[in-house]
Structure 1
Amino acid sequence: MIYNALVKKLDTQIEEEVTLEIDGVEFTGFALICPYEIELGKSYPVLIGFTILDDLMIREIQEEKKEIERIGLGYEYYIRGMLNEETIDAGIVFTDEDEYFSDYPEFIDKNVEMKVDRISIEFLKTPSNIT
């Protein structure tokens, strides 16, 4: 899903690190694809995904939570929401570009919590279908 994201912070030391706000949710991620220079305080069309460096840690939860929660001061997050075949809806929809969810058919259409190593951000060239 394409979102219109407000750039809240740019890191001067780590070029790819960017803090965004989407629909009132603020998080820090890595801009893996950025075809132009981004500026603080401006909004851009983006796709949001996640990066797993080792193994995906996912479990079913009973609560109907939709949230992302940063773990400590690093880049890891808990993403909580409804798991679909190719996305997880945590209030912000994260796409599963690496097809991790196909290994967990028992969790499809259920509320889950998953731990990710970082959130990935793709800045898009053209703003189409922004939500």
Structure 2
Amino acid sequence: MTQDAEVIEIDNDVEENVTLKIGRHVLSCFMVWCHEPIEAGKRYPADLGFFFFDEVGDDWEMSEVGDDVAEEIVSIDDAWGYSVTGTLRGEVLHVGDLRISDEILSGLEYLDGRKIKLRVDRLQVSFDASI
């Protein structure tokens, strides 16, 4: 799901490491694709997704949580990993005003409309042309 993202910073050592602001969220993401070079301080359409180091082996963490648990996205160890809690609607995880679409969510249709918590190894971002 495409969202408006402001590029806050592009890492000098690892150019795929970008810091974004989407809504009220500031996120460190791994850039997997961009249509054109991006620049800090500019806004771009961006699609967020998840990456799990052992997705094939199904060794990733997901649990259903109660409605009283806050929707949030929290960095793990100042790296690309995040703990993500949100409401699943189709293949889109709603985390407050943040929307994350990923094919791994398609296998969780039995949890549609419920709140889930995921531990992801990194957030990935793909950029389209400049807004």
Range class of TM-score, shorter chain = 0.7 to 0.9
Q: Equivalent residue of 2:113, what SS?
A: coil
- Structure 1 alignment gaps of length 5 or more: none
What's the TM-score once normalised by structure 2's chain length? 0.87
Contact 1:65–1:111, Cα closer than 8 Å, also in 2: no
Q: Equivalent residue of 2:38, what SS?
A: coil
* AA at the equivalent of 1:81: G
Q: How many residues align?
A: 125
CA distance in 1, matches of 2:94, 2:40: 27
Pairing 1:26–2:30 present = no
- Structure 2 alignment gaps of length 5 or more: none
CA distance in 1, matches of 2:89, 2:107: 12
In the alignment, which residue of structure 2 is the partner of 1:11? 11
Contact 2:19–2:27, Cα closer than 8 Å, also in 1: yes
CA distance in 1, matches of 2:35, 2:106: 30
In the alignment, which residue of structure 2 is the partner of 1:59? 63
Work out which of the residue numbers 118, 123, 131 in structure 2 matches 1:119. 123
CA distance in 2, matches of 1:43, 1:102: 29
Cα pair distance change 1:104/1:4, threshold 3 Å = closer
Trace 1:50-89 onto structure 2 (pairs within 5 A): 50-54=50-54, 55-62=59-66, 63-89=68-94
Q: CA deviation at 1:35?
A: 1.7
* Of 18-27 and 62-71, the range deviating more from structure 2: 62-71
What's the TM-score once normalised by structure 1's chain length? 0.87
